Amino acid sequence: MLSDRIQPERLAGYFKTLCEIDSPGLLEKPVAEYLQCFFSKFPGIVVEVDDSALRTGANTGNLIVTIPGRDEGATGLFFNCHMDVIPPCIGVQVDYTDGVFRSKGDTVLGGDDKAGIAILMELTHLLFEGQTPLPLVQFIFTVGEEIGLLGAEHLDRELIQVGYGYALDSTGIDNGIIGAPAAVYVDAVITGRAAHAGLNPEDGVSAIVLCGEITSQLPLGRVDSETTANIGLVEGGAATNIIPETVRVRGEIRSHCSRKLAQTIEVFRRTFEDLSAKYGGRAEVDFPPQYPAMLVDESAPVVQRLKRSAGALGRSIDLIVAGGGSDANIFNFKGLPTVILGTGMTDVHSNNENIALSDIVRTAEMVATLVTC
């Protein structure tokens, strides 16, 4: 089996190197160049950069790597990782102690999603080290995932030659995420009336007070079993002696059910507009789409292949409907069935982020087996 040839220390070296390359959203070019250099060493591999940067504003496009198959009858597949890392991610220094990777400083580690990228680098070695009949394999490395799935949204679909694949981008191990919610942003501007806070405060209408009244009435947190909502940013005010005239409020709504998503949007709209008017102000609120829902049927070939791979390794696989969004939401919407795989990363999006080499290796074993199952 391909998985028997994984070299953990080689894999660990790739992971550490990747984590220490700065790659905040839309500034992923150093990682893209590192990967282009790596893949160029293997004969026959085709590396392409699409033109998505023209629309995302990133300093590189998405990177698509194509490894020709040696078995024309085998069903090809793709693997996806994103190259960007959530802040704080500049100057990452990796600590590797007792088999666990952590950040040495006041940054995230970057296992989200560089553990997945390192796995695909290791997989590339495995694919070239023997003569096992193999299908066509593609890697899709995207930009701007953490700031809105931008690379996936603007991916050049014509470069993808296979019908389904797997995104290496979740916590946990031995799992496959087959469902995730749709999400919209909440973007509202609440307007009151400015006045001097000491001379004539009674003439003012505080936008901050209006904001408090509104947010206290919004359905926030877990709205129901399929829906969540959050207000994450509030900005406003000009000075301590001025009744604040405007406040900008930003958040999000997610739901696995399109009807409930629409209902929650309407509740938010009415709450902002009606309560603002009631207290002498006004509100303008918009709900830009963030990403569509995904739900992959368990009978789909992409899921069945995952089950076969787990069986070949003597493992069980947990199929999960999760609450987050990823490139897989966009790929599924574009007609590319995609299951998300956990890589073992823990406490992602925090400075406590960590991942065990043993879990990276375990995921690499699953990825290698997916190629041959």
Of 50, 84, 113, 153, which one is the catalytic site residue? 84
Query: Among this protein's residues, is 145 annotated catalytic?
Result: yes
Q: Is the dihedral of CA 14, 19, 22, 25 positive or negative?
A: positive
Per-residue pLDDT of the chain (373 residues; tens, 9 = 90+): 888 899 999 999 999 999 999 999 999 999 999 999 999 999 999 999 999 999 999 999 999 999 999 888 899 999 999 999 999 999 999 999 999 999 998 999 999 999 999 999 999 999 998 777 899 999 999 999 999 999 999 999 999 999 999 999 999 999 999 999 999 999 999 999 999 999 999 999 999 999 999 999 999 999 999 999 999 999 999 999 999 999 999 999 999 999 999 999 999 999 999 999 999 999 999 999 999 999 999 999 999 999 999 999 999 999 999 999 999 999 999 999 999 999 999 999 999 999 999 999 999 999 999 999 8
Domains and CATH numbers, the chain: 2-180+293-372 (3.40.630.10), 183-290 (3.30.70.360)
3-state helix, strand, coil in the chain (%, to 5): 35, 30, 35
| Cross-strand partners of 139 | 65, 79
Of 50, 113, 145, 353, which one is the catalytic site residue? 145
Query: Among this protein's residues, is 203 annotated catalytic?
Result: no
8 three-class SS: helix
